[in-house]
């Protein structure tokens, strides 16, 4: 079980014998954690694991969120208990007879024998009480050693005396010694600790238990002659800890462990002197304490943010990982410290600065006096010779802060210059913007880029210029200039939601990776990672609405990363440099595959199956290849030269395209399935949603795709006269991308006016409470077509909360207007939205051309009828893992899942190709799943490396 997050998990754990359950990850997520895994960098974008005041303001979690989660969890536990017929949680403990092994899962999982785990404890030990909590534990807190200490120290805490000396013997059963004393001190003096003239001196002998002197308050000095367990000085808060081995012990302290793991974890202030070796994770997250020790284990000073640590001996691996503050001095005895230190965030310097030398000498003297260290004695006597063997571990981030403070101090004390600055020539004064840009890029901060750099908000050319031509609307030159700055905003999340196919990219694009490579100017490597998951980035980089950006973690509180622009720049840069060349398969199978439809799903499926070595033929009913990409998307959004460039590449790789072949009419779908080994239907959802209202039969009312397709054909040279918007009052019913494309096309054709009707209310500027991140944001957006209409006509073309009632006739069989009424949306008693007409809001809009852009109902019926394919409730081809009810016929894209995005169509085509490849080969396919991952074959023997 990976984690405890649901009531079912708790019940299973109890049945296996757990009488207590701990939660960590789930409550953290409830408070807003997104699993960034950047806690050590102090850059948590949701303000949880950070002390940065700017980021802390972004924290929106509340205690009630965790309380509500735990209440719901408990309720789910109760529901499961009721199903099992159990009244109390204690009755669940150890009831393995209520568990049943699930027969599903991978073949490897089925090989596990769980019989020993599922044995009932009562059968193994009859008569033993196994119910947790049924026997009350007696911790004997009244006999704690610390009670005696508190009693003797109380006069000092109360201010009756200034000093007290206490001598005691300690055992390893005495845990958290000193913590309760510090609690009483804090109750009276808060975090300040004892007054300056008061002190409590404690001398101990023996072996201390866990958490010795945890949270020790200022004014308490504890000296232990002996050793201690894990967590010594955890959360040290101003106190002083001295530990050295018994004076009678014969062993050498610097060769033996004297304290356990995780000492000084999260210490904030105080001092610790330990004569001997500290085990692993010493001074992790130390933020202010000073410590001297004669050696440490692995992961020393990990995530340290402040304080000083002096290590007089060997260290373990991964020293200073994530260390962003404080300083560590290490005596590099064997000269191998650089190999054990994690250099990602720290610089290794020589001990040369006078202040550093003075500090090390002071600490050595204190350490010798307090512990009698032989090592300290030796170093002090030979310091001039040994100084070159010391290494100063200096975090880069700490250096930056120190330089910044020094500069601020210098500027504050430096008198302002009285003389007038020399007047420069205008060319000298202005400077070269390109040079300044390059200078800025050289010092880009990738770690905090999301905090420092704004999102590029102008991906398009100026509307005043672009609406006069049919060229692509994108401002490629401007976007590319700031691309490294934009890639620096990517936070390289530990759990990148942008590449999640549930809310982010359906293809599973490895977005943080290629963002980082672009930041490093490694364009070829970025291209390799991009093509690993996406066949046609030049399409998605232009026309995709970017669900990846909507799911970007940065988008929780800031504008998200410009992922789409970076993706488009990578592939365009690759084409410009000649990196994209035909990749012809080295070998061919004897299998023939037919693909019906050359839209994004069909092209992606063909590309993948061709890579697998199959002979692929694509049938397209139009005169050009590309489907929606060729005729459904306007030229200014996707240049047809970009589409044809890719089609030419696919042709060169060996794919056969047959145009002007309408499968279902020109050739029977059944014949196709008999002639080819596999048929994949990628016909799209081309059956448009109609609006059967009075007057629908009038001339001048057209489906949006009919309008767009006819104009694209005319632009490409076809002698084809379709609906045209010149000098007409255009009404577009429906929004979305298709509606926006109709707006932009009508405007360029010279429409007299353009109005768009949307039946839903106008979205707000921010997400509503029922539309949380990472869902697609239902917010008000201005796309390229809307902006152009605002510039040309002075207002946004969209009218919200309006319903069409009737199309009016001009008396000659042509539409002259659209009768409408306003609507309002209210929730009924069940919480469902209901639409009500608003009386008195009827209005007739003048219209010479009406375009219906209300989406699609599914694929056309001819092919499905000929093959007798089963349809789902939404009139799409019903499939199971892309397989239809006909053995060698498959379906992918909009005809299978319904009207969707280009990026989803590409994903569908890729995954359908993998299923078809497995069907043809009768083995696990080498084609990748989402994310570019290739599933290993369970049939292939894996050689043992031993």
Q: How is the chain split into domains, by residue range?
A: 7-124, 147-402, 442-576, 592-687+858-921, 704-854
DSSP conformation letters of 849-883: EEEE---EEE--HHHHHHHT--B-TTSSBP-BTTB
The DSSP H or E segment spanning 19 is none
Query: How far separated are the first and last CA of the chain, in Å rounded?
Result: 30
Dihedral sign for Cα 397, 403, 409, 411, please: negative
Q: How far is CA 497 from the centre of its chain?
A: 4
- Of 475, 463, 469, nearest to 794 by C-alpha is 463
Q: What pLDDT is stored for residue 416 in this prediction?
A: 54
Q: Domain 704-854 maps to which CATH number in 3.30.300.30, 3.40.190.10, 3.50.50.60, 1.10.760.10? A: 3.50.50.60
DSSP 455: P
- 254, HSE (Cβ side, Cα atoms, 13 Å): 16
Residue 702: beta bridge partners?
Answer: 851
CA distance 665 to 647: 25
Over pLDDT 90: what percentage of the chain? 77
Burial of 787 (C-beta count, 10 Å sphere; 0-12/13-18/19+): buried
pLDDT digits (tens, 9 = 90+) for 117-128: 888 877 877 877
Instruction: Give 643 or 828, the one with higher predicted confidence.
Output: 643
The band of 109, judged by pLDDT with boundaries at 50, 70 and 90, is confident
* Phi, psi (deg, nearest 5) at residue 123: -70, -30
**What's the whole-number mean pLDDT along residues 219-238?**
97
Question: In terms of CATH, what superfamily is 592-687+858-921?
Answer: FAD/NAD(P)-binding domain (3.50.50.60)
**What's the whole-number mean pLDDT along residues 431-448?**
62
Lowest mean pLDDT across 223-227, 344-348, 441-445 = 441-445
**Mode of pairing for the β-strands spanning 687-688 and 856-858:** antiparallel
**What's the whole-number mean pLDDT along residues 784-800?**
95
The band of 445, judged by pLDDT with boundaries at 50, 70 and 90, is confident
Burial 303-312 (b: 16+ CB within 10 A, else e): bbbbbbbbbb
Residue 589 is encoded by which pair of tokens?
Answer: 């199978």
> Which region, left, alpha or beta, applies to residue 445 given φ > 0 means left and ψ of -120 to 50 means alpha?
beta
**What's the whole-number mean pLDDT along residues 584-589?**
94
Look over the chain and give the mean of its residue pLDDT values, rounded to a whole number: 91
CA distances 288 to 294, 305, 343, Å, are: 20, 8, 22
Report helix angle 902-921 to 600-611, nearest 10.
Answer: 30
Residue 587 has pLDDT above 60, yes or no: yes
CA distances 38 to 49, 266, 268, 493, 556, Å, are: 8, 17, 21, 7, 16
Q: In what order do the strands lie in the sheet with 798-800?
A: 701-703, 849-852, 729-733, 753-758, 798-800
Q: What pLDDT is stored for residue 2 in this prediction?
A: 56
What dotted CATH number matches 147-402? 2.160.20.60
Q: What pLDDT is stored for residue 295 in this prediction?
A: 96
User: pTM for this structure?
Assistant: 0.74
Other beta carbons within 10 Å of 111: 8
Q: What pLDDT is stored for residue 121 in this prediction?
A: 78
Residue 916 has pLDDT above 60, yes or no: yes
Lowest mean pLDDT across 364-373, 399-408, 871-880, 920-929 = 399-408
Residue 946 has pLDDT above 50, yes or no: no
Q: What pLDDT is stored for residue 118 in this prediction?
A: 87
**Mode of pairing for the β-strands spanning 753-758 and 729-733:** parallel
Report helix angle 523-531 to 511-519, nearest 10.
Answer: 170
Dihedral sign for Cα 148, 150, 153, 155, please: negative
Tell me if domain 592-687+858-921 and domain 704-854 are identical in fold: yes
The band of 424, judged by pLDDT with boundaries at 50, 70 and 90, is very low
pLDDT digits (tens, 9 = 90+) for 136-183: 778 888 889 999 999 999 999 999 999 999 999 999 999 999 999 999
CA distance 174 to 76: 40
Q: Which long-range contacts (CB under 8 A, 24 or more apart) does 119-128 make?
A: 120/94, 120/95, 120/96, 121/17, 121/94, 121/96, 122/94
pLDDT digits (tens, 9 = 90+) for 293-313: 999 999 999 999 999 999 999
Q: What pLDDT is stored for residue 456 in this prediction?
A: 86
Q: What pLDDT is stored for residue 435 in this prediction?
A: 53
**Mode of pairing for the β-strands spanning 592-596 and 390-395:** unpaired
CA distance 169 to 621: 92
Q: In what order do the strands lie in the sheet with 287-293?
A: 163-170, 199-208, 220-228, 237-244, 269-274, 287-293, 305-311, 325-331, 390-395, 346-350
Q: What pLDDT is stored for residue 434 in this prediction?
A: 53
Residue 419 has pLDDT above 70, yes or no: no
Q: What pLDDT is stored for residue 418 in this prediction?
A: 46
Q: Quick one: CA torsion of 329, 333, 339, 343, rounded to 10 degrees?
A: 10
Class of domain 442-576: mainly alpha
Q: What is the 3-state secondary structure (H, E, C) of 193-224?
A: CCCCCCEEEEEEEEEECCCCCCCCECCEEEEE
Per the CB < 8 A criterion, the answer to whether 329 and 311 are in contact is yes
Per the CB < 8 A criterion, the answer to whether 296 and 341 are in contact is no
The band of 430, judged by pLDDT with boundaries at 50, 70 and 90, is very low
Q: What pLDDT is stored for residue 944 in this prediction?
A: 38
Residue 82 is encoded by which pair of tokens?
Answer: 């009721």
SS3 state of residue 730:
strand
């Amino acid at each position: 079980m990976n984690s405890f997050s649901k009531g079912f998990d708790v019940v299973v754990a109890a049945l296996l014998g757990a009488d207590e359950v701990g939660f960590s990850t789930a409550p953290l997520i409830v408070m807003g954690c997104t699993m960034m895994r950047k806690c050590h960098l102090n850059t948590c974008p949701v303000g949880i694991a950070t002390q940065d005041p700017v980021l802390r303001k972004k924290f929106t979690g509340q205690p009630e969120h965790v309380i509500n989660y735990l209440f719901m969890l408990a309720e789910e536990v109760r529901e499961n208990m009721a199903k099992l017929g159990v009244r109390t949680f204690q009755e669940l403990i150890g009831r393995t007879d209520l568990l049943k092994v699930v027969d599903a899962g991978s073949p490897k999982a089925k090989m596990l024998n769980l019989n020993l785990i599922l044995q009932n404890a009562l059968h193994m030990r009859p008569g033993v009480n196994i119910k947790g909590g049924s026997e009350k534990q007696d911790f004997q807190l009244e006999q704690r050693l610390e009670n005696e200490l508190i009693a003797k120290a109380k006069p000092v805490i109360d201010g009756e005396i200034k000093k007290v000396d206490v001598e005691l013997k300690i055992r390893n059963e005495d845990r958290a010694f000193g913590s309760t004393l510090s609690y009483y001190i804090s109750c009276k003096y808060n975090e300040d600790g004892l007054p300056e003239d008061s002190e409590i001196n404690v001398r101990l002998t023996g072996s201390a238990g866990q958490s010795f002197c945890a949270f020790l308050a200022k004014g308490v000095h504890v000296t232990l002659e002996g050793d201690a367990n894990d967590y010594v000085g955890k959360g040290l808060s101003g106190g002083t800890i001295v530990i050295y081995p018994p004076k009678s012990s014969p062993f050498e302290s610097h060769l033996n462990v004297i304290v356990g793991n995780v000492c000084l974890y999260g210490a904030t202030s105080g001092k610790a002197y330990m004569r001997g070796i500290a085990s692993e994770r010493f001074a992790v997250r130390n933020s202010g304490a000073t410590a001297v020790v004669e050696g440490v284990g692995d992961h020393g000073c990990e995530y340290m943010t402040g304080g000083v640590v002096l290590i007089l001996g060997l260290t373990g691996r991964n020293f200073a990982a994530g260390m962003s503050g404080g300083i560590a001095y290490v005596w590099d005895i064997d000269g191998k410290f650089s190999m054990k230190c994690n250099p990602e965030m720290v610089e290794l310097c020589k001990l040369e600065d006078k202040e550093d030398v003075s500090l090390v000498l002071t600490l050595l003297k204190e350490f010798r006096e307090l512990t009698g260290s032989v090592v300290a004695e030796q170093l002090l006597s030979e310091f001039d010779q040994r100084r070159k063997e010391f290494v100063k571990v200096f975090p880069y981030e700490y250096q930056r802060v120190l330089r910044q403070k020094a500069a601020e101090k210098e500027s504050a004390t430096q008198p302002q210059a009285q003389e007038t600055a020399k007047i420069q020539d205008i060319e000298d004064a202005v400077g070269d913007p390109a040079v300044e840009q390059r200078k800025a890029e050289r010092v880009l901060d990738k770690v905090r880029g999301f905090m420092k750099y704004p999102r590029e908000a102008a991906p398009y050319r100026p509307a005043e210029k672009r609406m006069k031509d049919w060229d692509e609307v994108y401002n490629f030159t401007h976007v590319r200039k700031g691309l490294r700055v934009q890639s620096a905003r990517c936070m390289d999340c530990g759990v990148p939601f942008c590449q999640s196919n549930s809310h982010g990219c359906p293809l599973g694009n490895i977005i943080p990776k290629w963002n980082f490579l672009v930041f490093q100017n490694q364009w070829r490597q970025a291209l390799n990672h991009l093509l690993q998951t996406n066949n046609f980035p030049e399409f998605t980089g232009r026309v995709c609405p970017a669900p990846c950006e909507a799911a970007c973690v940065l988008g929780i509180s800031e504008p998200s990363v410009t992922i789409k622009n970076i993706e488009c720049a990578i592939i365009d840069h690759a084409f410009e440099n000649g990196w994209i060349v035909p990749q012809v398969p080295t070998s061919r199978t004897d299998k023939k595959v037919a693909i019906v439809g050359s839209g994004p799903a069909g092209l992606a499926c063909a590309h993948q199956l061709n890579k697998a070595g199959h002979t692929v033929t694509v049938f397209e009913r139009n005169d050009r290849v590309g489907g929606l990409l060729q005729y459904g998307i306007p030229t200014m959004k996707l240049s047809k030269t970009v589409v044809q460039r890719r089609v030419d590449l696919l042709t060169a790789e060996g794919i056969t395209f047959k145009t002007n072949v309408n499968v279902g009419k020109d050739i029977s779908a059944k014949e196709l399935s008999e002639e080819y080994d596999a048929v994949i239907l990628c016909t799209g959802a081309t059956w448009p949603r109609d609006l059967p209202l009075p007057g629908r039969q009038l001339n001048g009312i057209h489906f949006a795709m009919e309008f767009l397709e006819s104009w694209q054909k005319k632009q490409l040279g076809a002698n084809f006269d379709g609906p045209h918007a010149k000098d007409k009052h255009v009404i577009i019913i429906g929004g979305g991308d298709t509606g926006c494309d109709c707006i932009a096309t009508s405007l360029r054709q010279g429409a007299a006016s353009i109005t768009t009707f949307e039946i839903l209310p106008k979205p707000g500027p921010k997400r509503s409470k029922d539309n949380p991140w990472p869902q697609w944001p239902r917010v008000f957006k201005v796309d390229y077509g809307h902006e152009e209409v605002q510039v040309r006509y002075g207002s946004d073309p969209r009218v919200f909360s309006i319903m069409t009632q009737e199309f009016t006739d001009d008396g000659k069989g042509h539409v002259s207007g659209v009768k409408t009424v306003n609507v309002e949306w209210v929730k009924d008693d069940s919480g469902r939205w209901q639409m009500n007409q608003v009386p008195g809001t009827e209005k007739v809009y003048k219209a010479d051309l009406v375009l219906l852009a209300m989406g699609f109902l599914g694929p056309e019926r001819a092919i499905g009828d000929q093959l007798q394919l089963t349809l789902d409730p939404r009139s799409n081809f019903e499939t199971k893992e892309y397989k239809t009810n006909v053995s060698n016929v498959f379906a992918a894209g909009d005809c299978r899942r319904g009207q969707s995005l280009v990026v989803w169509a590409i994903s569908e085509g890729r995954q359908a190709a993998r299923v078809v490849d497995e069907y043809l080969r009768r083995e696990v396919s080498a084609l990748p799943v989402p994310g570019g991952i290739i599933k290993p074959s369970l049939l292939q023997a894996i050689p043992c490396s031993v």
